[in-house]
Chain A
Amino acid sequence: MFEGIMIGLTTALSFTNILMVIGGVLIGTFIGMLPGLGPMSIIAIMIPVAISIGDPSAALILLAGVYYGAIFGGSTSSILINAPGVASTVASSFDGYPLARKGQAGKALTVAAIASFVGGTIGAILLMVFAPMLASVALLFHSAEYFALMVVGLSAIAAFAGTGKVAKALLMTILGLIMATVGEGALFNMPRFTMGIMDLQSGFGFITLAMAMFALPEAIYLVLDPKRSKNEAGTEIKDLRITREEARQIAPVIGRQSIQGFFIGVLPGAGATIASFLGYAVERNIAPKGEQEEFGKGSIKGLAAPEAANNAACTGSFVPLLTLGIPGSGTTAILLGALIALNVSPGPRLMVDQPEIFWSVIISMYIGNVALLILNLPLIPYIAKILAVPRTYLIPFILFFTMMGAYIGQNNATELLILVGFGIVATILRFADYPLAPLLIGFILGSMLEDNFSRAMQLYDGIGFVLQRPMTMGLLVIAVILVVLPSYRARRARLRAKGVADGD
């Protein structure tokens, strides 16, 4: 192994490859900042370029750089304009956007950059140490466990328990789950609930829905409520720095979530999205009482948790890709395609046959993460200035990128109609004070939940798998705890408050 690392080090530190890392992360961050262009489309665009390079190490280093660069940059649109372009940055908008609204956009971006950097770096260290061992752990998870894991992911909505909107949050989650059933799922060969409309046959697009739920209502709100934008433009982005106190607060969060995120990322099919939701839910649950209330209103912990987790998970997803040849997500599937086109067969023998590729990619991840941090920190004040743009420019800007994001992936104009339709519904829901994030969580997890549940049912001829597989049972118990604990705490707090009032 040590020998392999040395070969990797010399390969990764060659001039071309350093150039590849820096080029890759640059392209990745900048395109990733645009809502609607996730790592998947960016990598698809970059593949011909990478293949024309010819050298598999350099090509993979470039593509990996683009990948984690995009995850790094993806949080920017979530934080600044509430438009998460990728499912894994939805959780970042929960607290990132409120922070930006409070005039702390600079700080939010700094926290996100640092959390991403640490998440990516810890992920790379864990990848180097554990990759060979983890391959077998990834295979312990069957459909039954994935189903249970999705249930744990759904329990993230319990985070809304304290806000007094439990019923509304549940309603929205169910609505999201219902919306996920539209179209042809993996399990039925006939389309469901499409009402004969051909454009619905592949279901609602995630990006369209995310833009409709978050970004579009934001723009409409700015139009309808000029006061809101005024106080926003008034606040200067002066406080980029995070105080020592704040650093102390987020350090353990980032540490925990980097590790947890990495291990979730290793599981094929779970990935960065689940990692970010779970990270958010777990950190909210273990936060002290007072800070818990901050979650959802602009907590730096609530921003740091999903950011560290999704970057670490993205690194983790290289474990099944490189050691088993299994793509755990759409993005890694495209990467696998590129590797095969370059005559590299990922699998257990990659580490033995072509150690320079295996190790140089991992080592390039350290360099890439450092490069990302150095490139991004000085740019933050300029990026954050987007918010200081007068709203006569900001609104068209948001509208343009929202529309472009929904259209660009599919080249399908019907997506625009769906976007506007749901955008209006979402605006009304927002006026009625319904939280929209649970809807999106339900939608994202819905199809995975259903697919894995019915696979497990089919394999075990019924619901018996819950009892037959201890790991499934264990995960379901964790989900119950995650749901019950916050509600119990909230209830107790209410009772105590009442008791105090009575005592007076």
Chain B
Amino acid sequence: MKNFNLTRRVMLAAAAATLAFSAPAFAGGNQVLDSIHFLIPGGAGGGWDGTARGTGEALTASGLIGSASYENMSGGGGGKAIGFMIENAESQYGTLMVNSTPIVIRSLTGVFPYNFSDLTLVAGTIGDYAAMVVAKDSPINSMADLIAAYKDDMSGTAIGGGSVPGGMDHLVAAMIMQAAGEDPTAVKYIPYDAGGKAMAALLSGEIKALSTGFSEAVDLANAGEVKIIGVTSDERVDAFGDAMTMKEQGIDMTFVNWRGFFGAPGLPADQLAAYQDVIAKMYDTPEWEEVRARNGWVNIHNSGDDFRTFLENQETVIGDLMKELGFL
């Protein structure tokens, strides 16, 4: 019957997809762990999904772990998966959950009943800086130009972003304006539900500048669509050396949107150490370099206590700003 054929095709396609992800695992001498189960708090195809699967791919292909499995658990903007890790802690010691900056923001707003410190912090692995971009034919060429335009016409100089008000892109824009000596609450921030639509709005002139992720901005700058007028890194980034940092332009701020891995609460110390070891070793493998380059990620490795310090610092900065903006 026809329908049996249909299902078989689905299975084949799915199998092909899985094969591409799980390269053969050679149990070489450098294997640290048998397996890791990755918990992804969102659906297939998103940023968290890519990070977990990319990391798993590099770890298995390089032989650092025997095998990797993945589980997508969406719901509550990631909150459901966090709750699952906490409630089933003891049976989840073999699981690493991927997460990123929004866990800090959402814990602060109380959207999640939990906080990142309820979990075991394993390591921050990759990150992306934020960037301010303008359309290629915009008269604005630097942050100074943007701030001058903003002072000149506050209502007409709207800044857009791909997150909700109080979300990451808005907070970055507000941080930048604050560091530049402006009132962060006066900035007209226009939210779009996806980066692509925000970009269309920038090119159509609806918004004057766009607060977005640096890697996304680099792709568009390479395509000749936009000018990057400021990046939130400490030093210029090799991937696009022409982009000036905020600091260079007298705006003293930096921001990193990190991605990293968390373990269940009460994870035994030896297992935690093994996870951290396997992630630290991953950076030197050519397999990781291939995955990283393919996705345009920046290595930002923060392990254990460094990760905690980094997160607590980010929580303070974001929390203070959100209070000032009236979101808390």
Contacts and interface: CB of A to CB of B under 8 A. Distances in A.
Which 6 pairs, one residue from A and one from B, show the smallest C-beta to C-beta distance? A347-B223, A198-B76, A48-B20, A186-B193, A189-B166, A327-B196
B29 interface: no
B74 A410 contact: yes
Given A44-B44, A199-B76, A326-B203, A347 B193 contact: no
B200 interface: yes
A202 B193 CA distance: 12
15 contacts: A30-B9, A34-B6, A41-B44, A142-B201, A201-B76, A201-B77, A202-B76, A269-B197, A325-B220, A330-B194, A340-B219, A349-B224, A383-B2, A411-B71, A458-B188
Given A184-B77, A326-B200, A383-B2, 5 more contacts: A187-B164, A198-B79, A333-B194, A412-B74, A447-B193
A166 interface: no
A9 B75 CA distance: 46
Nearest to B21: A48
Which of the listed residues A46, A189, A346, A397 has the most CB atoms from chain B within 10 Å of its own CB? A189
B111 A191 contact: yes
Contacts of B72: 410-411
Nearest to A52: B20
Contact of B75 (A31, A140, A186, A201): A201
Interface string A158-202: 000000000000000000000000001111111100000011011
Interface of A: 27, 30-31, 33-34, 37, 40-42, 44-46, 48-49, 51-52, 138-143, 184-191, 198-199, 201-202, 268-269, 320, 324-328, 330, 332-334, 336, 340-341, 345-350, 382-383, 385-386, 397, 409-412, 414, 447, 451, 455, 458-459, 461
A235 to B, nearest CB: 19
A503 B110 CA distance: 71
B286 to A, nearest CB: 17
Contacts of B13: 27, 31, 42, 45-46
B167 interface: yes
Contact of A409 (B43, B194, B225): B43
Which label, helix, strand, loop or mixed, suits the secondary structure of the A interface? helix
A320 B74 contact: no
A238 to B, nearest CB: 18
B196 A333 contact: yes
Interface in B212-267: 219-220, 222-225
Interface string B286-316: 0000000011100000000000000000000
A348 B6 contact: no
A117 B155 CA distance: 48
B80 interface: yes
B45 A31 contact: no
A341 B295 contact: yes
B60 to A, nearest CB: 14
Contact of B20 (A49, A141, A334): A49
Interface string B39-63: 0000111000000000000000000
A383 B195 CA distance: 39
Contact of B190 (A188, A334, A458): A458
A455 B190 contact: yes
A34 B193 CA distance: 28
Interface in B1-31: 2-3, 5-6, 9-10, 13-14, 16-17, 20-21
B158 A348 contact: no
Contact of B165 (A187, A334, A340): A187
B127 interface: no
A397 B327 contact: no
A347 B199 CA distance: 12
A31 B200 contact: no
Interface string B140-158: 0000000000000001001
A340 B213 CA distance: 15
Nearest to B2: A382
Interface extent on B, as a size class?
A: 35 or more
Determine which residue in B3, B72, B155, B195 has the highest number of CB atoms from chain A within 10 A of its CB, and name it. Answer: B3
B206 interface: yes
Contacts of A187: 164-165, 191
A48 B57 CA distance: 12
Contact of B3 (A191, A397, A461): A397
Interface in B117-169: 155, 158, 164-167
A133 to B, nearest CB: 15
Nearest to A143: B206
Contacts of B111: 190-191, 201
Contacts of A451: 191-193
A138 B203 CA distance: 10
A260 to B, nearest CB: 21
Contacts of B296: 340
Contact of B200 (A48, A268, A386): A268
Contacts of B16: 49
Contacts of A45: 13-14, 17, 44
A311 B77 CA distance: 32
B41 to A, nearest CB: 11
Interface string B158-186: 10000011110000000000000000000
A189 B109 contact: yes
A411 B73 CA distance: 6
Given A44-B44, A49-B20, A348-B223, A33 B6 contact: yes
Interface centre among A27, A139, A386 (most CB of B within 10 A): A139
Given A184-B164, A341-B295, A410 B203 contact: no
Nearest to A327: B196
Contact of A188 (B44, B74, B164, B200): B164
A202 B74 CA distance: 9
A336 B3 CA distance: 32
B319 interface: no
A187 to B, nearest CB: 6
Interface in B62-104: 71-77, 79-80, 83
Contacts of A334: 45
Contacts of B21: 48
Nearest to A451: B193
Contacts of B79: 198, 201
Contacts of B220: 325, 345, 347
Given A184-B77, A347-B225, A143 B10 contact: no
A43 to B, nearest CB: 8
Contacts of B20: 48-49, 51-52
Contact of A324 (B9, B71, B205, B225): B225
Could you say which of B3, B167, B190, B197 has the most chain A C-beta atoms within 10 Å of its C-beta?
Answer: B197
